[in-house]
Structure 1
Amino acid sequence: MTLSEFFSPTNTWAENRYSVAGETDVSGIAGEIDQCGITYNSPEKLELRLANSFDQLSFKAGQADQSESSKQTLVVRAVGNGNQIDIQRIPFNKIQEFTLDVSDVNALELEFLLDEDVTDCNRLGKTTAVVWDIELQ
């Protein structure tokens, strides 16, 4: 999937080639993430409108090797029709694969934020979240 297939993406997101956890030339969608936790902040989001027409979404996510900070932990949260489907914490130099059940889901949001449990999260700097190999079935 490409960025244009997401519902009204903000200008935070861009398509390019990235290096993630030693994998080079990864063709994906990336955005700078600088919000720690979701208590008081609105996380960066990518949204898909699925029209209840798919059963599964799979993708990979990680932090770009060129991220400002290598000490952050990226949190990726999947929310379908307002309900959490999955949440994963991804440290620098790791790749997380997702396989989500999206049957009966119309609006799917992928939320990206920094793990507020990391000591000095607000002072460690931004990270660049990368999402790739996005497939709907």
Structure 2
Amino acid sequence: MSSLNPWRALAALVIVAAAAGCAGGSSGQATPEPHGEQTTEATAEPTADDSTETIEPSDSATTEAPEPDWEATARESADNSDGTGPLDPDQTEGRDLTLADFFSKEGQGIDETLYGVASLEEQKGIGAVLAWEDATMELRLANRYTSLAFSAGQANSSKSSDNVLRVEIYKNGKSADFVDIPFNEVYPFNVDVSNVNALKIVLKCRTQNDRECDYDESVTGVLYSMRLGS
């Protein structure tokens, strides 16, 4: 039996080792390295700058309250006052005077409505509630008329039937005449108003002893069928 050559055995080992190394290299796969870092983008949250802006009103859009017109208010007040200028014959001819025709009215409970006077029922007239306070009504005639006719009496609704209605006429500030009218009587007046500008009719409540009435709302005096002549 021949002996084994040592050099041939060493060569065989080298070949076997080389073959094993090649087999291991071909079966293994290298893990690829990432080329770049992957980043996750966060959703952008809205900021205060992105919110809707509040629109401030401009000076031109602001509505300012108008200043009150004091002169116009004064004129309107004068137009609505009780004062009525001098009466015009063209405006009063053929009709009875009304409360609106009087330049001024002073007294308690002066009213224009329907009254019962003596035997008259629902007579349209100008009435005033009287006690210790008189009622004064003034006409401005501007010397344009010659006569004033009317009737006067106590309303059937007067609280007292014992007192007297006094009707006193003033021409241009001076007393010209007066008449006392008991309850349930009517007195017709026909007053000369020639050259008269201011004519006042004053109603008073008097007792039968010619004293002031001593309690409120004693008498309701009524004037009716008032007409001016020119």
User: Normalising by structure 1, what TM-score?
Assistant: 0.88
After superposition, the CA RMSD in angstroms is 1.9
Matched, 1:8 2:99: no
Aligned position for 2:225: 133
- 1:55 deviates by 0.3
Q: Which has the higher contact order (CA 8 A, sep 6+)?
A: 1
Greater per-residue strand proportion: 1
Counterparts of residues 96-135 of structure 1 (less than 5 Å): 96-116=187-207, 117-118=209-210, 121-123=213-215, 126-135=218-227
CA 1:69–1:124 in structure 2 vs 1: closer, same or farther (change >3 Å)?
farther
- Which runs of structure 1 show a deviation greater than 4 angstroms over 4 or more consecutive aligned residues? none
Give the structure 1 partner of residue 125 of structure 2: 28
What letter corresponds to residue 170 of structure 2 in structure 1?
V
- Specify the alignment match of 1:88 in structure 2: 179
User: How big is the shift at 1:12?
Assistant: 2.8
Q: Give, in whole Å, the separation in 2 of the partners of 1:12 and 1:125.
A: 9
Q: Is the 8 A contact 1:22 1:65 kept in 2?
A: no
8 A Cα contact 1:60 1:132, kept in partner: yes
Unaligned runs of 5+ in 1: 36-41
**Could you tell me how far 1:125 is from its partner in structure 2?**
5.3
User: Who is 1:39 aligned against?
Assistant: none
Q: Based on CA coordinates, which of the two structures has the bigger radius of gyration?
A: 2
Distance 2:221 2:195 in 1: 27
Gaps of 5+ in 2: 1-96
Aligned-residue identity in percent = 36
Q: Alignment length, in residue pairs? A: 131
Distance across 2 between alignment mates of 1:2 and 1:124: 26
Whole-angstrom distance in 2 between the partners of 1:80 and 1:6: 15
Provide the residue aligned with 2:169 in structure 1.
78
Q: What is residue 38 of structure 1 aligned with on the other side?
A: none
In proportion to residue count, which structure has more helix? 2
